[in-house]
């Protein structure tokens, strides 16, 4: 699967969301899961040769997202299907490309892209470091820190004790809190509080997103 995704990567770094496939489909967030596949495989098997083989593809994913960082220093929305999860409020609106995207966000910024990218940059940094590419690893970590800083700056709502899905602070989800915890934007008492505050949000993690949601709860001591 990793070989097929890497082989299908476009020149600008964009990967398809499925491959092999008779029809093209691109979901930006799914590219991050390629990095995670390589990372999770290494954690389990320690296959450094496989990691080295896919560093070029990982660089492409990072480059594609880096080119979507706007003047505010946050990741802007792409022209592709900005799918996040099939959370109940994020159903179909007009056509299939509207489903699974935080409601009310059109041509703006999807907040969770930022801590999400920060987290997978950290995974990518570890992969580069084990292969001796320390300069690239440091570059990834620097990008991650900037995204974390700007996530805190633009998306934290101190009154609600939550990170918003949008810069206007009108949309909130369990998904945003999850990535803020996993990436280290929120730590300690803050992390535990946002995960507690997110329990009753309407935009809940579905089965597909549950793995990452459970990891965030686990970090905060709320797994039970």
pLDDT mean across residues, the chain: 93
Q: Which residues contact 215 (CB under 8 A, 6 or more apart)?
A: 178, 182
Q: Is the pLDDT of residue 219 over 70?
A: yes
Q: Identify the pLDDT of residue 99.
A: 83
pLDDT digits (tens, 9 = 90+) for 12-67: 999 999 999 999 899 999 999 999 999 999 999 999 999 999 999 999 999 999 99
Q: Identify the pLDDT of residue 98.
A: 64
Q: Identify the pLDDT of residue 95.
A: 52
In this structure, what token pair is assigned to residue 90? 């994020």
Burial of residue 62, with CB atoms counted within 10 A of its CB: 0-12 exposed, 13-18 middle, 19 or more buried: buried
Angle between helices 134-155 and 113-130 (to 10 degrees): 160
pLDDT digits (tens, 9 = 90+) for 136-188: 999 999 999 999 999 999 999 999 999 999 999 999 999 999 999 999 999 99
Q: pLDDT category, 78, cuts 50, 70, 90?
A: confident
Cβ atoms of residues 81 and 136 within 8 Å: no
In this structure, what token pair is assigned to residue 213? 């949601």
In this structure, what token pair is assigned to residue 172? 């909130």
Phi, psi at 120, each rounded to 5°: -75, -25
Contacts 24+ apart (CB under 8 A), 77-80: 77/105, 77/107, 77/108, 77/109, 77/110, 78/28, 80/14, 80/26, 80/27, 80/28
Cβ atoms of residues 48 and 39 within 8 Å: no
Full-model pTM: 0.94
Q: Which residues pair with 172 in a beta bridge?
A: 164
Q: Is the pLDDT of residue 96 over 80?
A: no
């Amino acid at each position: 699967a990793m070989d097929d995704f890497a082989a299908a990567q476009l020149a600008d770094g964009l990967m398809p969301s499925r491959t092999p496939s008779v029809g093209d489909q691109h979901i930006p967030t799914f590219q991050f899961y390629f990095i995670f596949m390589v990372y999770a495989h290494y954690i389990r098997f320690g296959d450094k040769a496989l990691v080295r083989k896919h560093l070029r593809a990982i660089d492409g994913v990072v480059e594609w997202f880096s080119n979507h960082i706007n003047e505010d220093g946050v990741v802007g929305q792409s022209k592709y299907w900005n799918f996040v999860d099939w959370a109940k409020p994020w159903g179909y609106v007009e056509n299939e490309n509207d489903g699974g995207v935080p409601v009310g966000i059109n041509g703006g910024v999807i907040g969770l892209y930022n801590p999400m990218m920060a987290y997978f940059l950290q995974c990518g940094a570890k992969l580069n470091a084990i292969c001796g590419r320390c300069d690239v690893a440091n570059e990834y970590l620097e990008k991650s820190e900037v995204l974390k800083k700007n996530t805190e700056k633009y998306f934290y709502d101190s009154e609600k004790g939550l990170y918003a899905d949008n810069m206007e602070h009108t949309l909130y989800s369990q998904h945003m809190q999850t990535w803020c915890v996993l990436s280290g934007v929120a730590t300690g008492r803050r992390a535990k509080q946002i995960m507690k505050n997110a329990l009753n949000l309407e935009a809940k993690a579905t089965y597909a997103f549950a793995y990452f949601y459970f990891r965030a709860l686990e970090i905060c001591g709320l797994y039970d």
